[in-house]
Amino acid sequence: MSQNRIIGELVPGLDEDTRETSISKLVKDEGSRFRLHSAVYTDQRLFDLEINRIFGLCWVYVAHEAMIPKPGNYLTTSIGTQPVIVSRDEHSQIHVLFNRCAHRGSVVCREERGHANVFRCPYHGWVFGNDGHLVGAAQRNGYPEEFLEWGLGLEEVPHVGSYRGLIFANLDQNAPPLEDRLKFIRRYIDLWCDRSPEGSVTLPEGTHRYEFPANWKLQAENGVDGYHGNYVHESFVNLLERSGERSEADTTKARNTVGSLNLSKGLPHGDGMLEREDGMLGTFDYRSQAAYTKQLEEAYGYERADDIMMQRNIFIFPNLFLFESHIRVIIPVRADKTFIDVYPTYLNGADNELNEARLYEHERFFGPSGFGAPDDIEIFVCAQTGAAVTANPWLEFSRGIHRESINEFGETVGHSTDEVPQRSFYREWRKVMDPHNSSANVKG
Ligand code: FES
Ligand SMILES: [Fe+2]
């Protein structure tokens, strides 16, 4: 019996017809309507398969080069549920190493970030270089002469690549080149990096990590959901009105206007974004900064500077967000548990005052006690709780499907409140989870 069939039988609430078939049936992409089975949030067996297929076969973001600028710098993170070390060796080469001792399997590095030439396993003291090779074992005479030739280094992830400082890794031996994977989203990564007049960012030390008891895909959906702001973030909109910064009517108008500067986009490979000239909550108003605007125009020309200053929430499947102020990384833990790592950025070449004002705006909305992010987390838990209901488990992702169009770049485009990026995500999800299903299409 195929694994797909087994999953089909285990997913609660599927009707007879669906139970007999494959994972693809969990996504109903029917032209004028798009629905998702809520088991994708709750079923641990689907989660395990996501770890094997999505995080095991796709290019996954692991770190930014600016976090390990010098030889000997390292950090720890995860690819799916597998712990890894991202290190820079003495020749400045970047390695992504599985964080597991070849002796009896303990993680060898327990720190978040640091500087080390070697990692010493906490269990029995074996020592590994920051390029992964085994340097030696404690009480070495317990092993024969040829011990160091047994190939007991830290296993290296098969493929590592970086683009504009973003480091990606791929666990699949047969992975396509990173360049091919990023072909469509690359120009948005460029626009994001070029917010800096020098085209690069710095990440302050430390990570803002939080967790929530809900599925990882709820965060993937929400970061490019332009529909929820008026409701989930109503208190923030009210706060802006009370403080005299912006009237509620103006905020709502900016968010709801239909036009070419208020969009959601779906790209191939499951990527997507919100793109607005104005009205994204928690974002810094660059256009009011005359000196900065001039700096960008000098660096890139008027037209590109204008494009750079569009507000974008960019999602890169399966685990990376490039928000205006920060990099956000999704780390799935279980079907109903997720870690999120948030890294605010500084724009190299911009004034300190501007970077400070950006960080302040970031903290106010996205920070640990910010006015925005905690409200989203509350909603993730609401959605996870609701997903347990098995009576009619189908969820609607059809918003705007009747008015979306394809632009010159082959991107699917809708109003910023439409569920275009979410449909792009779940089309890719279906393709990767059920690669043999011929109905899985390539539309963004
Ligand atoms: S598990 Fe690492 S030295 Fe024993
Ligand atoms: Fe939100």
- CATH (domain of 79): 2.102.10.10
In a domain? residue 9: no
The verdict on 116 and 214 lying in the same domain is no
Q: How many CA atoms lie within 13 A of 246 on its CB side?
A: 17
Query: From the CB of 101, is ligand 1 less than 6 Å away?
Result: yes
The verdict on 353 and 414 lying in the same domain is yes
Residue 325 Cα, ligand 2 centroid: separation in angstroms? Answer: 14
Contact call for residues 322 and 195 (beta carbons, < 8 A): no
Cα–Cα distance for residue pair 233/219, rounded to 1 Å: 15
The verdict on 210 and 157 lying in the same domain is no
In a domain? residue 50: no
Beta-bridged to residue 87, according to DSSP, are 74, 95
Q: Which of 126, 147, 150 to mutate to test the pocket of ligand 1 (most atoms within 8 A of CB)?
A: 126
- Of 163, 195, 226, the last residue of a domain is 163
In a domain? residue 268: yes
In a domain? residue 177: no
The verdict on 151 and 192 lying in the same domain is no
The verdict on 206 and 114 lying in the same domain is no
The verdict on 366 and 223 lying in the same domain is yes
What confidence score (pLDDT) does residue 243 get? 86
The answer to whether the predicted template modeling score (pTM) of the entire model surpasses 0.85 is yes
In a domain? residue 358: yes
Looking from the CA of residue 122, the nearest atom of ligand 1 is 2
Return phi, psi of residue 332, to 5°.
-75, 140
The verdict on 121 and 213 lying in the same domain is no
> How many separate domains does the chain show?
2
The verdict on 247 and 382 lying in the same domain is yes
Per-residue pLDDT 10s for the chain (444 aa) are 444 454 555 555 555 555 445 788 999 999 999 999 999 999 999 999 999 999 999 999 999 999 999 999 999 999 999 999 999 999 999 999 999 999 999 999 999 999 999 999 999 999 999 999 999 999 999 999 999 999 999 999 999 999 999 999 999 999 999 999 999 999 999 999 999 999 999 998 878 999 999 999 999 999 999 999 889 998 888 888 888 888 888 777 777 777 778 999 999 999 999 999 876 777 788 888 999 999 999 999 999 999 999 999 999 999 999 999 999 999 999 999 999 999 999 999 999 999 999 999 999 999 888 889 899 999 999 999 999 998 999 999 999 999 999 999 999 999 999 999 999 999 999 999 987 764 544 455
The verdict on 104 and 193 lying in the same domain is no
* Per-residue pLDDT reduced to its tens digit, 284-307: 888 889 999 999 999 999 999 999
Looking from the CA of residue 137, the nearest atom of ligand 1 is 3
In a domain? residue 14: no
The verdict on 155 and 191 lying in the same domain is no
Cα–Cα distance for residue pair 267/344, rounded to 1 Å: 25
Any idea what the CATH number is for the domain that residue 329 is in? 3.90.380.10
Domain extent at residue 204: 183-433
The verdict on 284 and 137 lying in the same domain is no
In a domain? residue 344: yes
- Of 133, 163, 193, the last residue of a domain is 163
For residue 51, count CB atoms less than 10 angstroms from its CB and return exposed for 0-12, middle for 13-18, buried for 19 or more: middle
Which among 30, 2, 40 has a CA at the least distance from the CA of 430? Answer: 40
Looking from the CA of residue 104, the nearest atom of ligand 1 is 1
Q: Give the pair of three-digit tokens for residue 116.
A: 């080390």
The verdict on 258 and 300 lying in the same domain is yes
In a domain? residue 258: yes
For residue 316, count CB atoms less than 10 angstroms from its CB and return exposed for 0-12, middle for 13-18, buried for 19 or more: buried
What confidence score (pLDDT) does residue 12 get? 54
